[in-house]
Structure 1
Amino acid sequence: MADAQDEIAGATPEDTPSPPSWPGWPVATAICIRFYSRLQVPRLHGENDLHGLPDFRIVPRALPFAAVVIALPAALVLLGAALAGVSAALAAGLAVTVFALTTGALHEDGLADSADGLFGGHTPERRLEIMKDSRVGSYGAIALVLSLLLRVAALASILEAAGAWAAAVAVIAAAPWSRAEGLRLLATEPPARSVGTAAAVGQPTRSTAFFALTLSAALASAVTLASALPIAGLVGGLLLASLAARVIAGSSRRLIGGQTGDILGAAQQLAEIAIYLGFALALGLAGK
C-alpha cells in the first residue's frame, strides 16, 4: 500500500490520465460502429483520428445503438431471404454469413483463439501464447463450427415457429446485449495482459457497462414487444447469456488471470447463441 501511495505521489501530470470526455451520441455511436465492424462511417463533426484506438472509458455507452446498426444488414438479409421463400436453414445461414462479413469475424476469431488457449495450454503463460497465435487449432475449429451451427439452427427454428419478421427481430434483439456482456467483462475483470487491444482501449467504468446493459435490455425489450416473439424468450435468453458470460469470465480468471480481447469476443458469441436459444425454447414450448 505504501509503495502504491509513493507511486501516486511521485506521478507527474503527464503520467496521470486525463478524465474521459463524452463526445456526444452520434460520435460515440460512430466510434463503436467502426471498432466493432467493417461498416464505413464518414467523419463526423468533432472527430479527429478515425483510425486510432478509441477511448473506451465512457464511449461504449453508445454501444447498444451501434450494435443495432451492425445487426441491420444480417437482419434484412434474413428477412428478404425468408420472404423470398427460401428454406429456413438457408435464410439463417445467409444471415450468419452476412454478420461475419459485417464484423470481419471479429468475435468468431476471439472465440476460436479463446478455445485454443483455454483448452490447449497447461500454464497461464502458454495459454496466452496460444491465444496470440493466428493459427486455428482443433479446439478453435470445433468452437467455430459449433457456434455457426447453433446460430443457424436457432435462427431457423425461430423463423419456422414465428415467421420472417420475428427472426429478423431476434437478430436485432440479440446484438446489443451480447456485445454489452463483453463490455461488462472488460469493465469488471482484470486484464490478463498489459498489452493488446483490450488493454489499449482502456477499461470502461462500471457505470458505463451498467448503462450499456440497461440500454441493451430496453432496446431488446422494445423490438421484442413489437414483434411476435415472446417476452419470456427474451428474459430467458438474457439470463442464459449472463450465465454464459459469467462462466467464461470465471474460467479466464482462473486459467489466464483475467480477460483479453479474445475472451470478450467469446463472451459475445456465447451470449448471442444464448439469446437465440431463449427465443427458440420459448417458441417451442408455446407451440406444444
Structure 2
Amino acid sequence: MNSFLVGLQFLTRIHIARQTVWTADAFGRSTRFFPLVGLVLGICYALAAWLLVYFIGMRTLTAVLLLILPLLLTGGLHADGFMDTADGVFSGRERERKLEIMKDSRVGSFGVVSFVLLMFLQFALLLDMHPFLLVPALFIMPIIGRMAMVLAIACFPYARADGMGKTFADMADRKTIVTASVMTVVFVLPCGLLAFVALMLGILFALLFCRAMTTTLGGVTGDVYGAVTVLTETLVLAIFSLASINSDVWGILWR
C-alpha cells in the first residue's frame, strides 16, 4: 500500500497520505503500481467527462476542460518531460548535447511548439469523438499511458549515469512488468474489444518509441518516460476518435 501511495504522490497531485521522505527502495517498488495510479486518474477523467457531457453536452468547452484536467491532476509532470524530450531530440545536436538540453529546466522553442501541436491534436480528437466513447476512452487512457511508462522503465537502458529516473530503472525487474501487466489487463479488458485494441497498439507504440529514443540518445531518461506516457495517451484518444467515424465499427468493437 505504501508503494502505491508513493507512486500516486509522485505522479499526481492527489496526496492521500503526504510523505516527505522517499527512499530509493520505495521509488523502485512503486513502479509496478503505476497502472493503479492510472486507474485513479482514469476514474477522475471518466467521471469528469460524464458530468460535462451530461450538463454541458459534447461542445468545445467540454473538450477544453478535459484537456486541462490531466494537466491539473498530474501537475504537468509528463507534459514537461514531453517538451524536454522534443527540445533535445529536435535540436539536431550530438547525443551528449541532446541530453544536456533535455536536462535544462528551461523549455525551448521546439518543446513549446511540439506541446502546442499536441494540445491541438488532442483537442480535435476529443471534439470528434462520439460521446458514447468519451467516458471509456478517458478511463483507459491513463492506465495504458502508465503501462507504457513501466515498459520504458523496465525494458530499456537508462541514458545517464545518474538521475531520478535511474532510480526507477535500477529497481525495475521482471516482477514489475508482470504485476503492472496483470493490473492493466484487469482494468482495461472489461471496457471491450476497442479498449483491448487500444492497449495492444499502445504497447507496440511505446516499445517502438523507446527503441527509437534508445537509438538516438543511447537509452531513455525521465523525460522520455513522460513523453512516452503523453504520446501513448494521445494514441488511445486517436483510436477511439477514429472508431467514432463509423458507428458500425465502434459498435462491433465495443462488444
Give the TM-score category using the shorter length.
Answer: 0.7 to 0.9
Distance in 2 (CA, whole Å) between partners of 1:207 and 1:146 is 37
Distance in 1 (CA, whole Å) between partners of 2:135 and 2:55 is 14
Q: Which residue of 2 aligns with 1:69?
A: 40
What is the aligned counterpart of 2:196 among 218, 235, 254?
A: 235
Q: Which residue of 2 aligns with 1:52?
A: 22
Q: Which residue of 2 aligns with 1:191?
A: 158
In structure 2, give the amino acid aligned to 1:71: G
Q: Which residue of 1 aligns with 2:226?
A: 265
Structure 1: gaps (5+ residues): 1-25, 44-48, 226-230
Distance in 2 (CA, whole Å) between partners of 1:120 and 1:107 is 20
Alpha-carbon distance, 1:54 to partner: 5.0
Structure 2: gaps (5+ residues): 250-255
Distance in 2 (CA, whole Å) between partners of 1:151 and 1:51 is 36
In structure 1, give the amino acid aligned to 2:21: H
Q: Which residue of 1 aligns with 2:179?
A: 211
Distance in 2 (CA, whole Å) between partners of 1:207 and 1:73 is 28
Give secondary structure in 2 for the equivalent of 1:144: helix
1:176 and 2:147 aligned: no
In structure 2, give the amino acid aligned to 1:135: R
Cα distance, 1:175–1:200 mapped onto 2, change above 3 Å: same
Q: Which residue of 2 aligns with 1:116?
A: 87
Structure with higher RCO (Cα < 8 A, 6+ apart): 2
Alpha-carbon distance, 1:210 to partner: 3.1
Give secondary structure in 2 for the equivalent of 1:120: coil
Give secondary structure in 2 for the equivalent of 1:107: helix
Alpha-carbon distance, 1:178 to partner: 0.9
Q: TM-score, normalised by structure 1?
A: 0.78
Equivalent pair of 2:53/2:131 in contact (CA under 8 Å):
no
1:280 and 2:252 aligned: no
Q: Which residue of 1 aligns with 2:252?
A: none
Equivalent pair of 1:73/1:99 in contact (CA under 8 Å):
no
1:84 and 2:42 aligned: no
In structure 1, give the amino acid aligned to 2:12: S
Alpha-carbon distance, 1:287 to partner: 4.7
**Deviation digits for residues 129-159 of structure 1, max 9, x if unmatched?**
100112222221122112222222222322x
In structure 2, give the amino acid aligned to 1:148: M
Q: Which residue of 1 aligns with 2:116?
A: 145
Distance in 2 (CA, whole Å) between partners of 1:217 and 1:155 is 24
Q: Which residue of 2 aligns with 1:29?
A: 4
What is the aligned counterpart of 1:251 among 208, 212, 235?
A: 212
What is the aligned counterpart of 1:38 among 13, 18, 33?
A: 13
Q: Which residue of 2 aligns with 1:200?
A: 167
Structure with bigger helix share is 2
Equivalent pair of 2:32/2:150 in contact (CA under 8 Å):
no
Aligned length: 247
Alpha-carbon distance, 1:74 to partner: 3.0
Q: Which residue of 2 aligns with 1:18?
A: none
Q: Over alpha carbons, which structure has the higher Rg? A: 1
